[in-house]
Amino acid sequence: MSIAVLVLALVTLQRLGELVLAQANTRALLARGAYEVAPGHYPLIVAVHAGWLVALWLLAPGQPVMWFWLGLFVVLQALRIWVIATLGRRWTTRIIVLPGAPLVTGGPFRWLRHPNYAVVAAEIAVLPLAFGLVWVAMLFSLLNALVLAVRIRAEDAALRGG
């Protein structure tokens, strides 16, 4: 098994596990009176992330490994886990508002308003670069930026209560 296949298998399993966690957290939040905001863009997020993984599965196997970029991706995974752990049961892949709940201000949220999106943006660029796939990094970074422009605007409005 090549390094690319091993890494992609781990990333795919990680993402699938995170979807299970996000769905469980979403159900629990909704049961506590939370509600979803701006769900219309969610299929676009799913499409960008799924397309990114598919492109990597199609193009990365057999490519040489750029160890610096792969190491940076591993560091990003630690940051990703920190974000998810900080949000705890409030972490989802959707915009879910729990009325009366205070904003999370600990962990990486002390320094960034949207640390998860910063990590995801970096991941989308860095993992393709680990396999020399510059155009994949550029294309999916652009697509992700377009989707995040909509997502962050919607999330910020929800966090302001509007």
Indicate the domain borders of the chain.
3-159
pLDDT confidence tier of residue 45, bands split at 50, 70 and 90: very high
CATH class given for the domain over 3-159: mainly alpha
Could you tell me what percent of the chain has a pLDDT over 90?
96
Is the pLDDT at 162 greater than 70? The verdict is: no
Pick the closest to residue 116 from 49, 38, 39 (CA basis). 49
Average pLDDT of the residues in 133-154:
98
- The mean per-residue pLDDT over the stretch 85-90 comes to 97
Average pLDDT rounded to a whole number, residues 1-26: 97
Phi/psi for 85 (5° steps) reads: -65, -40
